Amino acid sequence: MFDRFNENKNCLIKIEFDGTVLDALEGEMVASVLMAAGIMNFRDAPVSNTPRGPYCMMGVCFECLVEIDGVGHQQACLVPVRSGMSIKREKAKRLISDDLVC
Amino acid sequence: MTLCVDVVIIGAGPAGMSASNMIHEYGGRAVILDEQSEPGGQIYKAIDRVMRDRPNELSWLGSAYHDGARLTKKFRSQAKDYQPGSMVWHIECRNLDGLYNIFYSQAGVSKKIETKYIVIATGAMERPVPIPGWTLPGVMTVGAVQSVLKNSGMYPSGKLVLAGAGPLVLQLASQLIGAGISILAILDTSPKGSFLKALRHFPRALFAGDYLYKGWNLTNKIMQSNIKVYRNVTELNASGDGRLQNLSFKVNETKHCLKADTLALHEGILPNVQLTRLLDLEHVWSPRQRSFSPVVNSWGETSLSGVFVVGDGAGVSGARTAEYSGAIAGIIILERLEYIKESQRDLIIEDRKFRRLLDEGIRPFLDTLFPAPERIGEVPDKTIICRCEEITAAEIREVVKKGCSGPNQAKAFLRCGMGICQGRMCGTSVTEVMSKALEKKPADVGAFRVRPPIKPLSLEEIVTLNDN
Amino acid sequence: MTSDFIVIGGGLVGAAVSYGLLKLGATVTILDEGDTAFRASRGNFGLVWVQSKGDGMHEYATWSRESSDLWPNFAELLVEETGINVGHHRPGGLELCLDEAEYMDFENSINRMHNQPNVAENGRRMISGDEVRRMEPSVGPEVVGASYCPYDGIVNPLYTLRALHQKCIESGLIYRPDHEVKKIIPQIRGFKIITNEGYFLSDKVILAAGNGNKALGEFVGLDIPTGPERGHIVVTERTSPLFNYVLGAIRQTDEGTVMLGATKENVGFDSGFNFEMAAKIIDKAVRKIPALKKLRMIRSWSALRIMSPDGFPIYEESSNFPGAFVITCHSGVTLAAAHALKLAPELLGNDFNGKFNAFSPKRFDVR
């Protein structure tokens, strides 16, 4: 869990995480915004199904992977927020089977 | 239509920015590809935005951080081909014409660029610190907490514990103290007697005396605060139900337990070798820093002509040395492209080399004061080494018993290092664990091979690459 | 150090043969190269494949089918002996065709193989695009048909190698990695093998060193006309189970990753990565299975196959130096069961060349 030093600032950017609207400031990374909202559990590990969250915050550990606007496996620590972003928690193995029947 | 350029610099930290600044200073041009959305690298992360939006935070983020603005200002004004958000995923050597193809991805679209020279300035990463329970959400690195602090002006709001050893631990603690954020405890893992051993290197360190002064100040600040500091900490364990809740550790055979929400680990930093391994360059093991780094000459060039590695990626030496090395590589390239004369080149190089020599004076002292941990090869059996594929130290030791002789065979037998992080998080630890189990030197054990792409990308992106 | 057999090469061929020999009570030493040697056994695709094997040599078709039939029990044996599940499945295989020419090629191959005398029937038949899509709903509209064979299967080749190594070592194998063989000296009785780490003695020596065999063969009067052929493989992230069948160059592992293959290049001893090749593999794969587009590629590699002039295995005991054998093929996975359970016992007998007459390299002299 993280807090902002300056909560008074106008958080002009709204993003969505699994249906919940979160406030963010320009320049903040998706991972930071989730953690500031108390979300530490970003995804389930594919082997043991146990929860994982950010470890390195610099793009090397691949623990903060989330789905952003329909694209899976995005490193939330490297992606700055954009207004209207829709973010989803990732399950252990991504399902692409819904798209399979052509 | 592929773009062909003179120079591509990969990374916009102190080394990359400095190379770019030098090249542009004398009329050259370089394309800068950086994974992050702003220049500064890890050390000067978000410096420009902090100055613009949160200038009051600069006082406790510190002068070393503020110093980065000097580089970013020049960099932004000169580097017209700076491309933030560009993730390089493959470099191809072309044998026919000696050029290099660089493949990179921007916002989900991949492109290719041809270049004569490459400056790899991809810096370092923190040494992954395998301890039991380190995959729990809430267990992070010291650098990670600092990164959130710089980038987003946020701090851990619950019970925070810092554990490990190294200048970065002191720096983060001091920043948090300055910001009025409470730290529950600092667990110092540096072995007894390090200070006495380090004194031997004190005279040389005086040539970079400002570091000593800063370090002294940081240490004082922590001692004057009422943060509980445990020294000689061993057997650190993290546990909890779905997130970090409890820590246990030993101090001189006495067991201690703490409740914690965030644990920030740190045991020094390692060169980021993904690109240099991908290029199959020769790497050497540094027993002092316990890490592999690519072999480069005094101006940063590797065994591949035209490929330079500068900054911490060529061996950890800090931001200022990185800046000098970046400038040296830049000036060599300028001369080869005939922007400047040889005599002019040598003058600038001598100046930067001299300053670099003074700056590097602190390294032996620091590396002895905060020695790279030897215990990673001896972590408890149940500790997860490969976080992606969840392979424990016990499993690695077991295949060694059954004849497995190196990291690449272990990868094949266990899937260790085959996961989504592509071996970044377990590579060094696998070498360490196998080194102990095989009773061989890490240098002889070797390391994982690195294959493209060095970061995952969608199959669609590759199929459409040639359309871009 | 003396043993009944020295096996040069610790890949799938050497390990399978050693496994069989140790089971029969022989003493075996494997001399292997180091961690970064060219290793076909670490770079292969993991098919236990029948349908395309033996077009032009019916004995090879029969041998492949025999191994495929041995595999279920072999896999069970390995899990009992080592606890390692090598992930063998035999769901049947589909080779998807993207155009009529490819379809015709497969159809012709079926006819040729069917007409070979004494060939083991493999149940292979051509099926239409619509039937393929009924069997495998993920197949895209560009696919015009497929060659289907019910005996095709898959196995995890890395776990197979690990299980073989583990069982061999538990059965008394002397395993020596980082031992590069410099020279083989035939003795009055047996062989002296010189390595960079000293010499070893044995009654018999087996060359199972893949592309290294060619040079080693010269020491014991064996002419082994093999060469390297580079293949690329691309691997994706893990995903939920996608397929009912094995799709030739597209296979999903038990872990959920999808492997895409396979290219053929003659580039000598170079296991480097060629981006154009990877792009070709991916392009074909997403045309066959469009949903794959969404998956992320996490790794790729290339490895060197061991190809004989006709693509079939070479098995031979040296006539000048009896007791020296060569065993080489590019299907170390498919044939692992046969090598362990059928071929190894013949190494202890006295009519090896009689049993494997068809696989003798003498077939290349005929012309």
Tokens 């080779």, residue located: C95
C-beta atoms of C239 and A99 within 8 A: no
Q: Given a contact as 3+ CB pairs under 8 Å, which chains touch B? A: A, C
Question: Any chain B CB within 8 A of the CB of A77?
Answer: yes
Question: Any chain C CB within 8 A of the CB of A72?
Answer: yes
> How many C-alpha atoms does C266 have within 13 Å on its Cβ side?
5
C-beta atoms of A3 and B154 within 8 A: yes
Report the distance separating Cα C278 and Cα C233, nearest Å.
7
> Which CATH number do you get for residue A44?
3.10.20.440
Do C318 and C220 lie in one domain? The reply is: yes
In a domain, A36, yes or no: yes
In a domain, C69, yes or no: no
Q: Which two tokens stand for residue B196?
A: 């006495």
Nearest residue on chain A to B426, judged by CA atoms?
A61
Selection from B467, B94, B88 nearest residue C274 by Cα: B94
Nearest beta carbon to residue A57 from set B147, B153, B389: B147
pLDDT score recorded for residue B246: 98
Q: Coil, helix or strand for B172?
A: helix
Mutate to test the interface with A, among B61, B148, B172, B245 (most CBs of A within 10 A): B148
Question: Any chain A CB within 8 A of the CB of B460?
Answer: no
Q: Which two tokens stand for residue B46?
A: 């978000």
C 98-137 residues inside an 8 A Cβ radius of A = 137
Nearest beta carbon to residue C239 from set A94, A101, A102: A94
Q: Coil, helix or strand for B403?
A: coil
In a domain, C192, yes or no: yes
Mutate to test the interface with B, among C32, C35, C82, C166 (most CBs of B within 10 A): C35
pLDDT(C278) > 60: yes
Q: Return the number of CB contacts < 8 Å for B and C.
A: 102
In Å, the largest CA–CA distance within chain C is 66
Do C296 and C337 lie in one domain? The reply is: no
Report the distance separating Cα B177 and Cα C11, nearest Å.
58
pLDDT(C304) > 70: yes
pLDDT(B142) > 60: yes
C-beta atoms of A97 and C141 within 8 A: no
Domain boundaries, chain B: 3-125+270-340, 128-267, 375-445
Tokens 């800063």, residue located: B214
C176 within 8 A of C32, measured Cβ to Cβ: yes
Superfamily of structural domain B375-445: BFD-like [2Fe-2S]-binding domain (1.10.10.1100)
Question: Any chain A CB within 8 A of the CB of B259?
Answer: no
In a domain, A80, yes or no: yes
In a domain, C82, yes or no: no
> Nearest 5 degrees, angle CA B120-CA B420-CA C88?
135
Dihedral-angle region of residue A80 (phi above 0 means left; psi in -120 to 50 means alpha; beta otherwise): beta
Three-state SS for A38-75 is: CCCCCEECCCCCCEECCCCCCCCCCCCEEEECCEEEEE
β A20-24/A13-17 pair status? antiparallel
**Architecture of the domain defined by B128-267:** 3-Layer(bba) Sandwich (3.50)
Q: Which residues of C touch A97 (CB under 8 A)?
A: 240-242, 291
What's the number of domains chain C is made of? 3
Mutate to test the interface with A, among C286, C294, C298 (most CBs of A within 10 A): C294
Do C163 and C194 lie in one domain? The reply is: yes
Do C176 and C234 lie in one domain? The reply is: no
DSSP designation for A80: B
Do C217 and C321 lie in one domain? The reply is: yes
Q: Which residues of B touch C32 (CB under 8 A)?
A: 405
> How many C-alpha atoms does B112 have within 13 Å on its Cβ side?
20
Report the distance separating Cα C256 and Cα B177, nearest Å.
47
Mutate to test the interface with C, among B414, B459, B460, B463 (most CBs of C within 10 A): B459
Do C315 and C212 lie in one domain? The reply is: yes
Q: What are phi and psi of C242, to 5 degrees?
A: -115, -30
Report the distance separating Cα B324 and Cα B327, nearest Å.
5
Report the distance separating Cα B403 and Cα B409, nearest Å.
10
Across C50-74, b (16+ Cβ under 10 Å) vs e yields bbbbbbebbbbbbbbbbbbbbbeeb
Selection from C160, C154, C105 nearest residue C261 by Cα: C154
Handedness of CA B458, B460, B463, B465 (dihedral sign): negative
In a domain, C130, yes or no: yes
C-beta atoms of A46 and C141 within 8 A: no
Consecutive H or E run containing C145: strand C145-149
β C2-8/C198-207 pair status? parallel
Q: Which distant-in-sequence residues (6+ apart) come within 8 Å of B261 by Cβ?
A: A1, B138, B156, B157, B158, B159, B160, B243, B244, B245
CA dist C262 to B57, B186, C116, C248, Å? 55, 53, 27, 9
Report the distance separating Cα C247 and Cα C291, nearest Å.
15
Domains B128-267 and B375-445 share a fold: no
C-beta atoms of C293 and B460 within 8 A: yes
In a domain, A4, yes or no: no
pLDDT of B392-434, one tens digit each? 999 999 999 988 889 999 999 999 999 999 999 999 999 999 9
Q: Coil, helix or strand for C79?
A: helix
pLDDT score recorded for residue C1: 67
| Domain range enclosing C288 | 227-307
Nearest residue on chain B to A28, judged by CA atoms?
B152
Residue B181: pLDDT band (50, 70, 90) is very high
pLDDT of B29-45, one tens digit each? 999 999 999 999 999 99
User: Cβ-count burial of B323 within 10 angstroms (0-12 exposed, 13-18 middle, 19+ buried)?
Assistant: buried
Dihedral-angle region of residue C207 (phi above 0 means left; psi in -120 to 50 means alpha; beta otherwise): beta
B184 within 8 A of B160, measured Cβ to Cβ: yes
In a domain, C75, yes or no: no
Do C120 and C262 lie in one domain? The reply is: no
The whole-angstrom distance between A46's CA and the closest CA on chain C is 8
User: Cβ-count burial of B438 within 10 angstroms (0-12 exposed, 13-18 middle, 19+ buried)?
Assistant: middle
Q: Which residues of C touch A99 (CB under 8 A)?
A: 291, 294
In a domain, A83, yes or no: yes
Do C244 and C256 lie in one domain? The reply is: yes
Do C222 and C320 lie in one domain? The reply is: yes
Domain boundary among C131, C150, C169: C150
Report the distance separating Cα B174 and Cα B188, nearest Å.
15
CA dist B49 to A79, B32, B52, B237, B256, Å? 16, 20, 5, 37, 41
pLDDT of C42-81, one tens digit each? 888 999 999 999 889 999 999 999 999 999 999 999 999 9
Q: Which residues of A touch B242 (CB under 8 A)?
A: 41, 50-51
If one counts every other C-beta atom within 10 angstroms of the C-beta of residue A12, the result is: 10
The whole-angstrom distance between B117's CA and the closest CA on chain A is 25
pLDDT score recorded for residue C267: 72
Mean pLDDT of chain B: 94
ipTM of this model? 0.94
Nearest beta carbon to residue B46 from set A27, A42, A46: A27
Question: Any chain A CB within 8 A of the CB of C298?
Answer: no
pLDDT of C163-176, one tens digit each? 999 999 999 999 99
The residues facing A66 across adjacent strands are A74
Q: What are phi and psi of A48, to 5 degrees?
A: -100, -5
Q: Which residues of B touch A61 (CB under 8 A)?
A: 128, 387, 421, 424-425
Domain B3-125+270-340 has CATH 3.50.50.60: yes
pLDDT score recorded for residue C366: 64
Report the distance separating Cα C152 and Cα A20, nearest Å.
48
Question: Any chain B CB within 8 A of the CB of A45?
Answer: yes
Q: Which residues of B touch A34 (CB under 8 A)?
A: none
Mutate to test the interface with B, among C176, C293, C298, C301 (most CBs of B within 10 A): C298
Do C186 and C328 lie in one domain? The reply is: yes
User: Cβ-count burial of C155 within 10 angstroms (0-12 exposed, 13-18 middle, 19+ buried)?
Assistant: buried
Strands laid side by side in the B233-239 sheet: B233-239, B246-251, B254-259
C70 within 8 A of C50, measured Cβ to Cβ: no
pLDDT tens digit at each of 102 positions of chain A: 899 987 766 778 999 999 999 999 988 999 999 999 999 999 999 899 999 999 999 999 999 999 999 888 899 999 999 999 999 998 876 665 444 433
Nearest beta carbon to residue B408 from set C35, C178, C255: C35
Give me the DSSP letters along C263-293.
--B--SS-----HHHHHHHHHHHHHHSGGGG
Q: Which residues of C touch A93 (CB under 8 A)?
A: 238-240, 256
Report the distance separating Cα B370 and Cα B164, nearest Å.
9
Q: Coil, helix or strand for C190?
A: coil
Q: Which distant-in-sequence residues (6+ apart) come within 8 Å of C146 by Cβ?
A: C94, C95, C96, C97, C106, C126, C127, C129, C132
> How many C-alpha atoms does B108 have within 13 Å on its Cβ side?
15
A33 within 8 A of A22, measured Cβ to Cβ: yes
C-beta atoms of C239 and A100 within 8 A: no
Give me the DSSP letters along B294-362.
E---TTSB-SSTTEEE-GGGGS---HHHHHHHHHHHHHHHHHHTTSS-HHHHHHHHHHHHHHHHHHTTH
Do C268 and C336 lie in one domain? The reply is: no
Torsion over CA of C243, C246, C247 and C248, rounded to 10 degrees? Answer: 160
Q: How far apart are the first and last CA of chain A?
A: 43
If one counts every other C-beta atom within 10 angstroms of the C-beta of residue C153, the result is: 23
pLDDT score recorded for residue B1: 56
Q: Which two tokens stand for residue A44?
A: 């389930």
pLDDT of B372-396, one tens digit each? 999 999 999 999 999 999 999 999 9
Mean pLDDT of chain C: 93
Q: Coil, helix or strand for C322?
A: coil
Report the distance separating Cα B188 and Cα B197, nearest Å.
17
Q: Coil, helix or strand for B108?
A: coil
- Mean pLDDT throughout C108-128? 86
What's the number of domains chain A is made of? 1
| Domain range enclosing A87 | 13-91
Do C243 and C211 lie in one domain? The reply is: no
C293 within 8 A of C270, measured Cβ to Cβ: no
- Mean pLDDT throughout B338-364? 93
Nearest residue on chain B to A62, judged by CA atoms?
B421
> Nearest 5 degrees, angle CA C334-CA C340-CA C345?
135
Give me the DSSP letters along C42-74.
GT---EE--TTTTTT-HHHHHHHHHHHHHHHHH
In a domain, A5, yes or no: no
In a domain, C81, yes or no: no
> Nearest 5 degrees, angle CA C242-CA C247-CA C249?
115
Give me the DSSP letters along C204-246.
EEEE--GGGHHHHHGGGT-----EEEEEEEEEEEEBS---SSB
Nearest residue on chain B to A45, judged by CA atoms?
B388
> How many C-alpha atoms does B304 have within 13 Å on its Cβ side?
26
C-beta atoms of B156 and A2 within 8 A: yes
Mutate to test the interface with B, among A4, A41, A58, A75 (most CBs of B within 10 A): A58
Residue B208: pLDDT band (50, 70, 90) is confident
> Which CATH number do you get for residue C208?
3.50.50.60
